[in-house]
Amino acid sequence: MKYTNILILSLSVVFVVACSPSDSPDEREQAEADAAPVETVEPAAVEPEVEMKTATDDNPLLAEWDTPFGVPPLDQIEEAHFLPAYDVALANHSAEIEAIATSEEAPTFENTILAMEQSGRELGKISRVFSNLASSATNDEIRAIQREMSPRLAAHSASITLNPDLFARIDTLYQNRDGLDLSPQQARLLETTHEDFIRAGAQLEGEDRERFAEIRSSLAGLYTQFAQNEQADREAWTLELGAEDLAELPDYIVAAAAGAAADRDMEGHVVTLARSSVEPFLQSSPNRAQRETAWRAWTLRGDNDNDNDNKDTIREILALRLEQANLLGFETFAHYRTAGTMAGTPEAARSLMEQVWWPARDRALEEAADIEARIANAGMQHELAPWDWRYYTQQVRAERYDLDESEVKAYLQLDNMIDAMFYVSEQLFDITFVERDDIPTYHPDVRVWAMQNPEGEVAGIFYGDFFARPGKRGGAWMSSFRLQNGMTGEIPLILNNCNYNKPASGEPALLSFTDAVTLFHEFGHGLHGLLSDTEYPSLAGTSVDRDFVEFPAQIYEHWLSQSEVLQKFALHHETGEPMPPELLDRVLAATNFNQGFATVEFLNSGFVDLAYHLNTDPAAIEIDAFENEVLASRQNLDEIPMRHRSTHFLHTFAGEGYSSGYYSYLWAGVLDNDGFAAFEEAGNIFDGELAQKLYENVFSAGDTQPAMDAYVGFRGREPNVEALLRNRGFVDTDVVNIEG
């Protein structure tokens, strides 16, 4: 489901396109762009007069931002500014909407759709700043504001989408659209606005309308509660390491553990539940008891029967979602959600997962046998358990490909990998990135670059926040401070967040290969926002179907694995020498290693997510038993649980972005493997003609056309799963079309 510019539903999450390889296995989210400046559209002649409120004090959130490119003055904004600013902005937006809805003029595109698109700019500015801080630099004050504002914003959104006078104007235009002489983008904006209002309950009446608004408000609060509970459980836990433990761990893990302790004002070394901390520990620690302790803490976030427990929250969310879907005439929430995607139905989404499940499971069984043989050869008596998989897999990987993680990381310096991702965008889209030191940020770790078009004009601002720290949620995601706006000529302000371990002062930040893939993935999302070239913000950038939004990010990952890129940028952090060809060959050969585990782990979460939202009696669900039942139904391996257990499944329960839609990473995986195969078939990973099609139909196009049309415009045909199964090393299958 996509939302127009006016539908600001919740502050519980900001990660519209939020997940990367660190969050799922294959989540890996222009020749010459038209550099002519966008003409500013004058306000519609029939724009209603609105009496606007103004702030009574000096509040930077409500002032004009006299900053380079109109970026947020993040160095001036304080927590105390938000609630007063929200009060003013909500009142002003309500007045704007009321004036549109009650206008005595007959509805036109200009006085209704365009006027709506121009409304709420003040509220949008404030919400984007706050949402980014709530995800990247939160504290007790911000969390309290979030709890207060989430239901208020949901209620405000409902007051718009459930406004009968406003919808009557939209519906009149939609029913008469063929006679309005609209441009293609105007027609698309009218179509998506009408669809969004219907899916947000605009056709409901009486008590159903009131109940729908209550549900939206309640869900917003529950999403915030779920996310804050997960963060509280995650940040409360640490595992202290003694001298004997440190002696058995690689230097990079020891350094990260020291940094994690320092971040928490602790002495010594600790492992935390940030993925960048706990996962390397599970891969490297020979202490099986400590691995089990860490793994259980990691998987039990939100499931500890304490104040942060999320089980009841899940049941409440599921019950409200089912009621919401039923009010709109859908059998289940899964049917409601998938109706607004490329898949179209939950059956189509499940069918795709089933196509990949059995080949992935077969490969996982082979991988398990390799690990069990290694355990036996080492004289161990224990059976393979979930906390063993990563540890022994690393040993099998190192032995099979003669790879040492420390050796590989020495060539993957963060600064060089940033240069690599910029290099790829320059080769594909003829853009350059120049670092700036005059852009205000919310934390000293944040770096800022200006994206320049071929004429050297600044066409976007890119913020990079790469290191983990307390107060920042886990994972990796892309968000924005401002969308590209063709009406005003405003350039996009895009933010990427990752959670790498911050090195000691003066030391380089070294990445694993998976970390580097995450970097490229999120920058693919970033480019989707930065290269946007649409007339209307509601159609800009990542405002596309949920199961299409990961495609630009996942296809971008493929360029990292190309020898042309690695030979140029994988340089030793001490000597500056390029990665030796034989090591490069081994790194690339190992990229498909453990794909059975990775795919099964992901699909477990995908199947459970879909099953939750197909269930019609959520109040009776026992979370652990439900998970186990779904996994057992597909003969899952006990050693491979869900990648994200329910009680910390932020994708599904901290908002609606990926609810009943976690499958979309696999859907996009089909697209990205099939799509990159076009460059391979051309014999040139930077083929100019293909790059231009990718730019025109995907990276710049936003939601100006249906997602399948966008893909076909780039690829020349609809996608199939052949390339994905081949690239993951699974058994061959017949070509299968994925369109639902």
Query: Which active-site residues does the annotation give?
Result: 522
Return d(Cα 295, Cα 386) in angstroms, integer.
8
Which neighbouring-strand residues pair with 496? 464, 478
DSSP 3-state percent helix, strand, coil across the chain (nearest 5): 55, 5, 40
CB atoms within 10 A of CB 601: 23
What angle separates helix 664-682 from helix 707-715, to the nearest 10 degrees? 20
CA distances from 437 to 69, 462, 603 (A): 13, 12, 43
What angle separates helix 140-161 from helix 82-101, to the nearest 10 degrees? 0
One-letter amino acid at 95 equals: A
Token representation of residue 97: 């909407």
Cβ(121)–Cβ(128) below 8 Å: no
Task: Please name which of 398, 377, 467, 514 lies closest in space to residue 28, comparing C-alpha atoms.
Answer: 514
Task: Please name which of 697, 613, 599 lies closest in space to residue 651, comparing C-alpha atoms.
Answer: 613
Task: Please name which of 177, 131, 115, 152 lies closest in space to residue 14, comparing C-alpha atoms.
Answer: 131
Cβ(183)–Cβ(539) below 8 Å: no
DSSP secondary structure of 419-430: HHHHHHHHHHH-
User: Residues with Cβ < 8 Å from 113, sequence gap 6 or more?
Assistant: 170, 173, 186, 189, 190, 193
Task: Please name which of 692, 698, 663 lies closest in space to residue 337, comparing C-alpha atoms.
Answer: 663
Residue whose pair of structure tokens reads 């900053």 in the numeric block: 67
Return d(Cα 640, Cα 624) in angstroms, integer.
15
Coil, strand or helix at 272: strand
> Strands 458-467 and 447-452, how do they pair?
antiparallel
Cβ(377)–Cβ(570) below 8 Å: no
What angle separates helix 551-560 from helix 414-429, to the nearest 10 degrees? 110
Residue whose pair of structure tokens reads 């080492």 in the numeric block: 378
Token representation of residue 24: 């799922």
Residue 576, sorted as left (phi over 0), alpha (psi -120 to 50) or beta, turns out to be left
Return d(Cα 494, Cα 128) in angstroms, integer.
11
Return d(Cα 738, Cα 740) in angstroms, integer.
6
Task: Please name which of 593, 549, 567, 560 lies closest in space to residue 676, comparing C-alpha atoms.
Answer: 560
